[in-house]
Amino acid sequence: MRAVRALTSGFGFSTEQPWLPGLPHVAAALATYFVFGARACVTGLLLATLASFVVYLPVTALTLNGGRAIGADAPAPVLTTRAQMVLLGLWTLTAWAGAALTAVAG
């Protein structure tokens, strides 16, 4: 959980970290509304949110920290541009796959 807190650092923009990881996955999931409808859009958003905070952000934090856990007094690793692009791709894939599966099943 420390990794998620370290990478998100609250709900606003700060001078230490100008990029908020939560916003792009919401935008990627909301784009599915126009193709699959509201129910599939919400499902895609929920899956992307769950995957983001349970898998994607902690794994990214470990990778950026050299595979070691982030210490309580250590500064958060900085998200590189490459890490941001990989996360955006994973969020988009998760949101669209969840929305598509919901649309097919329903």
Domain-located, residue 15: no
Distance CA 3, CA 76 (A): 8
Report the domain count for the chain: 1
Using a pLDDT cut of 90, give the percent of the chain over it.
26
Residue 69 domain boundaries: 2-9+20-105
Distance CA 106, CA 103 (A): 5
Domain-located, residue 14: no
CB 30 within 8 A of CB 38: no
pTM of the predicted structure, to 2 decimals: 0.73
CB 15 within 8 A of CB 54: no
Domain-located, residue 66: yes
44-70 per-position pLDDT tens digit = 999 988 988 888 888 888 888 888 888
